[in-house]
Amino acid sequence: MNILDKIVADKRVEVKLRKGLIPTKQLEESVLFERQTTSLAQNLRNSTTGIIAEHKRRSPSKSVINQTSSVWEVAQGYEKAGACGMSVLTDGKYFGGSLDDLLTARASCNMPLLRKEFIIDEYQLLEAKAYGADVCLLIAACLTRQEIKNLSELAKSLQLDVLLEVHNQEELEKSLMPSLDMLGVNNRNLKTFEVSLETSKSLSTKIPNDFVKVSESGISSIEAIKELRPYGYQGFLIGENFMKTENPAQSAINFIKKS
């Protein structure tokens, strides 16, 4: 069982528990549920930097990344730095995140927020909307084509942008459909955790131009972004690069200035 299978198995148990605690009706009645969302895809199309900055405390591959920076400060700093959007990890067991992190980020900035989560159930999309997200992540590696279709169509009906993440051509081919806004290529091999920008390069020609192309993982320098731009990438998800420093917000400011 690879790490993704393990996370998804745990996630099924977690979602079942959450459904028992907070009924759907309660999520739909929350204050933020009626909020007008902001499109990350649109932001990326109009941006010169294309940076989506992440808040992440830890990960299965790196254990602790940053347990001290407050979400509030990081979100405000990323916005000040000129990031196009912010990705907020909400998985607790493996990444040390929570839906409260999403709520805090929403209260502290106006940029589009991506709920970075292993979404396997429609309930999680209602949560994303209720907690202030503008974008949801769907991971092709843990969903069937029909599940991607159902989840992405529900997301669109909730006015959430959809970022679909793929790791290889097979995942990409099963996933292409009109209810997606962005296609993210994860440069990290989920089985080995090795990272290579070649993944983004080789898949770039297979992604139709209707979708905003986003490259994820292993982007730790301006050079990497410059290398990927000619391949049509407009979005760059930067996770650990900012968070592994003492002041993620300042790191983002310095990075974006150079780009």
Distance in angstroms (rounded) separating the CA atoms of residues 181 and 196: 24
Torsion sign over Cα 230, 232, 234, 238? negative
Catalytically annotated residue among 39, 43, 108, 186: 186
- Respond yes or no: is residue 257 known to be catalytic: no
**CA 169 from centre of chain:** 20
216 is catalytic: yes
Q: Which helix (H) or strand (E) holds 228?
A: helix 222-228
Q: Alpha-carbon distance 184 to 188, whole Å?
A: 12
Active site residue 127: no
Could you say which of 14, 216, 240, 241 is catalytic?
216
Within 13 Å, how many C-alpha atoms sit on residue 161's CB side?
A: 26
Question: Is residue 116 annotated as a catalytic residue, yes or no?
Answer: yes
Which of the residues 165, 187, 215, 241 is marked catalytic?
165
Catalytic-labelled residue, pool 11, 39, 56, 59: 56
Among candidate residues 11, 14, 43, 54, the one labeled active-site is: 54
The reply to whether 165 belongs to the active site is: yes
- Active-site residue, selected from the candidate residues 39, 59, 108, 116: 116
69 is catalytic: no
Pick from 230, 204, 182: which is nearest to 40 by CA? 182
Distance in angstroms (rounded) separating the CA atoms of residues 248 and 243:
5
Residues 132/35/139/190 CA torsion (nearest 10 deg):
-20
DSSP letter (8 states) at residue 188: B
117 catalytically annotated: no
Indicate which residue of 59, 175, 215, 217 is catalytic.
217
Enumerate the active-site residues.
Answer: 54, 56, 116, 165, 186, 216-217
